[in-house]
Amino acid sequence: MSGMPTFIARRIGSGLILLVALTAVAYALVYSGSTNVAQKILGDFATADQIQAKAAELGVDRPLGVQYADWLLHAVQGDLGRSWFTAEPVLEAVFSRLAVTASLVMLALAATVVLSLLLGITAARHRGGAADRGLQLFAVAGEAVPNFWLALVLVSTFAISIPLFPATGFVPPTVSVGGWLLSLVLPVTAIVVGSVAGSAQQIRGAVIDVLQQDYIRTLRARGLSERSIVLRHALRNAAPPALTVLSLQFIGMMSGAVLIERVFALPGMGNLAVDATIQGDIPVVMGVLISMAVIVVIVNLLVDIAAGWVNPKVSLA
């Protein structure tokens, strides 16, 4: 069957088109206000000629469309331009921060998957029971509490009052795996509470939907254990909606990570973007925005492929 490769190729194709469109939107958004950047960099005492020269040097004196075409041409070759302030290549700056954000988001995602599956399945199996009502309560509470506030509470409690974990900073796993984990416990917790609250409830719904299907009744009639019914059959069939929920959670985490990195002073992509924004360092802002979009598109692609893999019908579509 040649279904799967075609399916993947088509998804990659649409992902690429999506990315190009994304860069155009992002570029228009970010660069449209950058006309007086030369003035900003040179300061108030610069002459009109100097400003003119700087603007030409940065390329911001050209029409926006031309600027974008130029940016895109370089971007596909892996050149995202240089920082207007430090002249550091944007791609290098982003890469040097990638490990931090990736550590944070990947650990948070793993924890979210495990916990929301556990909670969602338990609640679905005992509808109306104590676990189910507990989950409903947690779902509202967890979503109502902002993750950065939770982070502040965690820091002041478990880093300052009771110094169990470091309040700030990141330890690369290459230096010390233990230190790496320790430095991420609080940040990951702050993210996971909200994302589990957001996804467990929906996984519960998906599992309930499957458990009400006729084939589950028939499988039960065949004498299969509840364990096999839930873990093999219900989970497999609930996987596509669960994957969709989790991929949306992932996008949310990329946003949430910005705030969490701020609280814990983690040198990640979010912090880089906020600093660059406050400074007005547009190429860096654009670089981070696009890198995050690329990551999200890749993750979505992987989720699509995974969903196609668990659903035998997709290969025919």
Partner 1 sequence: MSVDTQTPLATSGARPWDELRRNPLFWIAASVLSVIVVTGVFAPLIAPHDPDFSRLDLVNAPAGADALLGGDSAGRDVLSRLIFATQTTLIGVIIAVSVSMLIGLVSGLLAGYRGGVIDETFNWVANLIIVLPSMMVLIAMFATVGPSTVLTMVVLGVILAPNFFRLVRNQTVAVRNELYVDAARVSGVSPVRIVFRHILRVIIAPVIIMAASIGSLSIMMQSGLAFLGLGDAKTPTWGAMLLDAFKNIYTAPQLMIWPGVMIALTAGSLLLLANALRDTVAGTRRVRRAPRQRSAPTGPTAGRSEGTPLLALREVSIAFSKPDGSDTVVVDSTDICVEAGEIVGLVGESGSGKTQTILSVLDLLADGGRVRSGTISLDGVVLSSLSPRRRREVLGRNVGYIPQEPMSNLDPSFTIGSQLVEPLTAVAGLTGREARERSLELLRRVGITDPQRVFDSYPHQISGGMAQRVLIAGAVACDPKLLIADEPTTALDVTVQAEILEVIRSLQQERGLGVLLVTHNLGVVADLCDRVVVMKDGAIRERGDVRQVLLRPEDEYTRSLLSSTLATRPAREAWTERLATGSIGIASIEKTQKAGAR
Residues numbered 5 to 44 that lie near partner 1 (CB under 8 A) are 18, 21-22, 25-26, 29-34
Q: How far apart are CA 48 and CA 56, in angstroms?
A: 12
Per CB under 8 A, contacts with partner 1 among 113-152 are: 127-129, 136, 140-141, 143-146, 148-149, 152
By CB under 8 A, the residues from 262 to 291 that bind partner 1 are 262-263, 270, 273-274, 276-278, 280-282, 285-286, 288-289
Looking at residue 89, the DSSP 8-state letter turns out to be B
What is the number of alpha carbons within 13 Å of residue 90 lying toward its C-beta? 23
The least CB distance from residue 264 to partner 1, in Å, is: 11
Q: Does 225 help bind partner 1 (rule: CB under 8 A)? A: yes
The residue within the footprint of partner 1, chosen from 115, 182, 224, 307 (CB under 8 A), is 224
For residue 89, list its beta bridge partners.
82
214 part of the interface to partner 1, by CB under 8 A:
yes
Whole-number Å distance between alpha carbons of 72 and 7: 27
Report in angstroms how near the CB of residue 75 gets to partner 1 at its nearest: 16
Q: Is 311 helix (H, G, I), strand (E, B) or coil?
A: coil
For partner 1, the closer of residues 54 and 204 by Cβ is 204
CA-to-CA distance for 72 and 185, rounded, in angstroms?
38
CB of 47 to partner 1, least distance (A): 25
Rg (CA), the chain: 24
**148 or 180: whose CB is closer to partner 1?**
148
Instruction: Please classify residue 214 by burial: count the beta carbons closer than 10 Å to its beta carbon, then call 0-12 exposed, 13-18 middle and 19+ buried.
Output: exposed
CB nearer to partner 1: pick between 33 and 172: 33
Is the CB of 145 or the CB of 185 nearer to partner 1? 145
The distance of closest approach from Cβ of residue 128 to partner 1 in the complex, given in angstroms and rounded to an integer, is: 5
Q: How far is the CB of 185 from partner 1 (least distance, A)?
A: 18
Residue linked to tokens 């338990």: 122
In the three-class reduction of DSSP (H, G, I as helix; E, B as strand; rest coil), residue 116 is classed as helix
Amino acid (1-letter code) at residue 11: R
**CB-wise, 243 or 289, nearer to partner 1?**
289
Considering beta carbons, is residue 169 or 178 the nearer one to partner 1?
169
Distance CA 182, CA 159 (A): 11
Tell the burial category of 312 from Cβ atoms under 10 Å away from its Cβ (0-12, 13-18, 19+).
exposed
Examine residue 97 and tell whether it contacts partner 1 (CB under 8 A): no
> Of 12 and 251, which CB lies nearer to partner 1 in the complex structure?
251
Binding mask 178-197 for partner 1 (x = CB under 8 A): --------------------
Applying CB under 8 A, among 12, 53, 64, 296 the residue interacting with partner 1 is: 296
Name which of 129 and 172 has its Cβ closer to partner 1. 129
Min. distance of Cβ 165 from partner 1 in angstroms?
Answer: 14
Q: What are phi and psi of 89, to 5 degrees?
A: -60, 135
Nearest to 266 by CA among 141, 150, 82, 97: 97
Degrees to nearest 5, angle at CA 52 with 57 and 54: 30
What residues between 231 and 250 interact with partner 1 by CB under 8 A?
A: 232-233, 236-237, 248
